[in-house]
Structure 1
Amino acid sequence: MDPIKNVQVELYRVPLAKPLSDAKVLTGRQKPLAAVDLLTATIETVNGSRGFGFSYSLRAGGSALLAHARDLAEALIGEDPNDIGRLWEKLAWLGASVSRTGVSVQSIAAFDVALWDMKAKSANVSIGKLLGAYRNSVPCYNTSGGYLSAPLSEVLSNVERSLERGLGGIKLKVGQPDLKKDIERVAAVRKHVGDGVPMMVDANQQWDFTTALRAGRMLEPYQLVWLEEPTHAYDYRGHAELSARLDTPIATGEMLSSVAECCELINHRSVTFLQPDVPRVGGITPFLKIANSADLNRLKLAPHFVMEIHIHMGCAYPHEAWVEHIEWLEPAFNERLEIKDGQMMLPERPGLGFSLSEQAKRWRVDA
C-alpha cells in the first residue's frame, strides 16, 4: 500500500466573460450568473503519486463546499487511495448528520474524482479507458451560446461559431414568461441552421405541467433531440407523463444530488435522456451506479456541464451519450478538449487529463 500523506483543498472563483441569464433569471428566481466557484482537491501519497479532482457551485455555495471539504480532508490521511468506494462511504458517513446529498456529497466529489484520477494515472490511461471505454469520442453540443440574455442576432452568431468549430449540436434556453417568444426563437434558429443540425431546448424547470405539455406540442415541428427540464426537477410523475404524451424525448436530472433521486427518474420512466452531474451526485463513484441503472433500462445519457469530467463518462457508457460543451472552466485549466466533426474526443492524457493553470491562481478565494 502507498498511503495518502497529504490532501489539499482550494476554492477558485472563475469569472465568466459576461453575465448570463436563463429563464430562472427572467422569472425572478435567480440573479445572472457571473462566475463559477471551483473547488479543487489534490491528493498525494507517500511515494509521490498525485490525483487532481474538482467540484463546483453556481452562484451561492462555494464557501460551504470548501468548509465541508476541509472538515473531511484529514480523514483521508493514511488511507489506501485504491479503496475508492470505501473512502466515499467513509466521507459520506462523516457528514451524514448534515446530509448525504447537496453540499455534503458535492464536497466529496472533488476527492472522489482525484482518487479516480490517481488510479488512472497509475495505469497510464485516461479515466474513460480505465472504466472500459466503448468509444473514443461522443457527440457534443453547445449551450453557452444560447442563453436568454443574448438577443437573437447574437445567438445566431454564436451558433455559427459553434458549428464552425466542429460542435455537433445546439441547445437553446427557453422558459420565458411569454411562450410565444420561445417558439419564435426556436423557429428562427431552426430556419437558420436547417433540419440537419441537432437542436435541444432547456426550460430550466420554469413551466408547470400544463404549460410544459402545451409548449412541448408547439415545439414538436422543430424535430428536437430533447426537451430539457420542462417542469420541476423532482416532478418524476410529471416528466413521465410528458414522456408518454410527447414525441420529443424528455431530458432531466442535472439538479439531483444522489443516486436515489436519479433512480426515481429511471423507475418512473420519466426520461429518454438522463442528465446526472458528476460533482452534484458526489463524484464518479455514485455516477457509475446511476449509469449502471440507466444502462439496464436502455436510457440515453447526457451529463450536465463539466465536460472535462463528463467526456470520460460519456465514452464509458454503452448506449448513446452526449456531452455538453460549456467553456466556462477552460481558463482554469492548462489543457483543452479536442472537438472534430461534431464529436468531442476522449483525451489520451492519463487520468482526468487536466491540471490547474497559473491564471487560476489569481482567482483563489480564501474563505
Structure 2
Amino acid sequence: MRIVDIRERTLPISSPIRNAYIDFSSMTLSLVAVVTDVVRDGRPVVGYGFNSNGRYGQGALLRDRFIPRVLAADAGSLLDDDGTNLDPHRIWATAMTNEKPGGHGERSVAVGTLDMAVWDAVAKIAGRPLHHLLAERYGSGTADPRVFVYAAGGYYYPGKDVSALQDEMRGYLERGYRVVKMKIGGAELGEDLRRIEAVLDVLGPGRQLAVDANGRFDRDTALAYADALSAYDLFWYEEPGDPLDFALNAAVAERYAGPLATGENLFSAQDAANLLRYGGMRPDRDWLQLDCALSYGLVEYLRVLDVVAEHGWSASRCIPHGGHQMSLAIAAGLGLGGNESYPDLFQPFGGFPDGVAVVDGYVTLPDLPGIGFEGKKDLIEVMRSLA
C-alpha cells in the first residue's frame, strides 16, 4: 500500500461580498488529491481536501515543500503499525520535517488541506464514514451523526439594503436553520444596530442571531459595540478584535455578559492554549472556532481538543469555522457543539451531501465512506477533475 501521487490545483471561490476586513472578489482555495494504489469498487482510492474560505490557495507551499516530502518518503514509513492503512500522524510528521515551530500563518493552511485529503483516504480505505472512524479511535466509541449547524451570511455587498438582508435571513429560516449569523463592523455602529434590529424583527421565537466583527475593532470600539450589543439576546459576539490581542478579548469578556466566539484565525494547539490562558474566555458560555482546515488539519486539532480539556472546557463548546464536511465529520465523531454552514456561498465546497436537509437547526450525516464528498454531486465532479 502506498501513495502514488498527490495533486493540487488553485480554484476560485470569488464573490462580490465583504466583511469588516476583506472582500472576497479574488478569493481562492487549494484542492488536493491524495492518490493511492488501493482499489475499491474498481477505482483507486483518492482522498480529497481543500482549505476554508478567508485564506487563499496555498499552491506554492504545497508544491515546494509539503507534497515533495511526503512523496519522497519510504512508503512503509507512512503506514500504520499493521501496515493496512495510511497513518495520518506519520504523514503529518513527514510533511512537517524541517519546519521550525511558530510562525503558523499560511503554512498551517497548506498542511491542513493536505491532512484533510489524507483522512478522507484513510476512512475510504477502511470502508468507514470518517465520523464513525473518529468516534472509535478518539471519541466515545459511537458517533452521533446529528449535528447542530448555523447559517452564516449577512455580508455587506453593493446594493444590499436592510430589506434584502431580512430576505436573506428569512430564506435561512425557511430552510430549517434556527441560528443565523451576520457581519458587523463594516459600517458605523448606528447603522449596524439598525441592521441587527431588522434581522431580529424577522427571527421569531426560538431563533437567534450571532454577529461577527471579523477582528476589526480596536479596544474602545470593541467595548462600545459590547455595550450596545448587551441590549440584545445574541447567540454570540464573534471576534471583536485582532485574533492575537488576548488582552482586548479579555476586556470584552469582562464587560460583555453574553457569549463570545473566536478562534477561526488561530492556527495551532499553542494558539488555543494562549487564548484560554489569557483571553478571558468563559467555559460556561463562550465558543471556540478553530478550523482544522486552516490549522494544520485534524492531527493538530486533536491536540487542540487535548488543550481544551486540560483547561476545563468541553469539546461541545467548539463550533469550527469553515462550513465544510470535514468539520461536520469531526463534530459528529468527537462530540463538538456543531458546525458553521454557508447555504449560498463558496460553493460547491460548502454545504452537505445531496438530500441532507436542515431540520430544526440540525443535519444528520449519511453513512458515506470517507468524509462524504462523493455524496455531493457538484463537488465530487470538481474533485474528480483533479484525480
Asked if Structure 1 and Structure 2 have the same fold, meaning a TM-score greater than 0.5 normalized by the shorter chain, the answer is yes
Equivalent residue pairs, number: 352
Question: Per the alignment, in what secondary structure is the counterpart of residue 184 of structure 1?
Answer: helix
Give the structure 1 partner of residue 214 of structure 2. Answer: 204
AA aligned to 2:156 is L
CA distance in 2, matches of 1:98, 1:266: 20
Does 1:83 pair with 2:87?
yes
Cα distance in 1 for residues equivalent to 2:289 and 2:340: 10
Q: Once the 2 structures are TM-superposed, how far is the Cα of residue 270 of structure 1 from its aligned partner? A: 3.5
Indicate how the Cα distance of structure 1 residues 45 and 207 shifts in structure 2: closer, same or farther if over 3 A, else same: same
Q: Structure 2 counterpart of 1:9, which letter?
A: R
Native 8 Å contact 1:273 1:301 kept in 2: yes
Equivalent residue runs for 1:61-80 within 5 Å: 61-68=57-64, 69-76=66-73, 78=75, 79-80=78-79
Aligned to 1:217: 227
TM superposition shift of 1:180 = 1.0
Deviation, 1:358, is 3.0
- Match status 1:184 vs 2:181: no
Determine if contact 1:126/1:353 at 8 Å carries over to the other structure: yes
Return the offset for 1:290: 0.8
Residue deviations 1:160-200 (CA, integer Å, cap 9, x gap)? 11111112211010013411111111111112213421210
Residue in structure 2 matched with residue 111 of structure 1 by the alignment: 114
Offset at 1:82? 3.0
CA distance in 1, matches of 2:13, 2:109: 20
Aligned-pair CA distance for 1:332: 5.2
What SS is found at the alignment partner of 2:373?
coil
Q: Provide, for residues 22-52 of structure 1, a one-character-per-residue CA deviation record: whole Å limited to 9, x for no partner.
A: 111xxxxx34434432321223135654322
Contact 1:332/1:360, CA 8 A, preserved across alignment: no
Give the strand-richer structure, 1 or 2: 1
The residue that corresponds to 1:147 in the other structure is 155
Residues 347 and 77 of structure 1, relative CA distance in 2, 3 Å threshold: farther
Please state whether the residue corresponding to 2:144 is helix, strand or coil: coil
* Residue 316 (structure 1) aligned to one of 315, 328, 333: 333
Q: Deviations over 1:310-340 (max 9, x none)?
A: 1112223446x13111144442589435422
Note if 1:239 corresponds to 2:242.
no
The amino acid of 2:155's aligned partner reads Y
Residue 284 in structure 1 maps to residue 298 in structure 2: yes
Amino acid at match of 1:122: I
Q: Which residue of 1 aligns with 2:11?
A: 13
8 A contact 1:39–1:62 mirrored in 2: no
Q: CA deviation at 1:243?
A: 1.7
Deviations 1:195-221 (A, max 9, x none): 421210000111111211121121122
Which stretch of the first structure deviates more once superposed, 236-245 or 325-334? 325-334
> How many angstroms apart in 2 are the aligned matches of 1:338 and 1:129?
20
1:275 CA drift (Å): 0.5
* Residue deviations 1:111-147 (CA, integer Å, cap 9, x gap): 3222222222233322111111552222211113x10
Residue pair 1:88, 1:112 contacting (<8 A) in 2 also? yes
* Greater displacement, 130-139 / 153-162: 130-139
* Range with greater deviation from structure 2 (343-352 or 53-62): 53-62
Question: Residues 361 and 329 from structure 1, CA distance in 2 versus in 1: closer, same or farther, beyond 3 angstroms?
Answer: farther
Q: Normalization by structure 2: what TM-score?
A: 0.82
AA of the residue aligned to 2:20: A
Structural mapping, 1:241-280, within 5 Å: 241-271=251-281, 272-280=286-294
Match of 2:139 in 1: none
The answer as to whether partners of 1:156 and 1:192 remain within 8 angstroms in 2 is: yes
Post-superposition shift, 1:224?
0.8
What is the letter of the counterpart of residue 358 of structure 1?
A: E
* Cα 1:174–1:14 shift into 2, 3 Å: same
Structure 1 residues 185, 60: closer, same or farther in 2, change over 3 A?
same
Partner of 1:27: none
Tell me, in whole angstroms, the C-alpha distance in 1 between the residues paired with 2:30 and 2:57: 11
CA distance, structure 2, for counterparts of residue 188 and residue 237 of structure 1: 32
Residues 143 and 170 of structure 1 are in contact (CA less than 8 Å); yes or no, is this contact kept in structure 2? yes
Q: Is the 1:141–1:324 contact (alpha carbons within 8 Å) kept by the matching residues of 2?
A: yes
Whole-Å separation in 1 of the counterparts to 2:55 and 2:294: 14
Secondary structure in structure 2 of the residue aligned to 1:33: coil
- Structure 1: segments with no counterpart, 5+ residues: 25-29
CA distance in 1, matches of 2:56, 2:144: 36
> What one-letter code is carried by the residue in structure 2 that aligns with 1:294?
V
Match of 2:359 among 336, 340, 365: 340
The TM-score, its normalising length taken from structure 1, stands at: 0.86
2:53–2:322: 8 Å Cα contact kept in structure 1? no
Is the Cα contact below 8 Å between 2:249 and 2:280 reproduced in 1?
yes
Percent of aligned pairs with the same amino acid: 26
The residue identity in structure 1 corresponding to 2:313 is R
What is the deviation of 1:229? 0.5
> 1:76–1:276: structure 2 CA closer, same or farther, 3 Å change rule?
farther
CA spacing shift, 1:34–1:155, aligned 2, 3 Å: farther
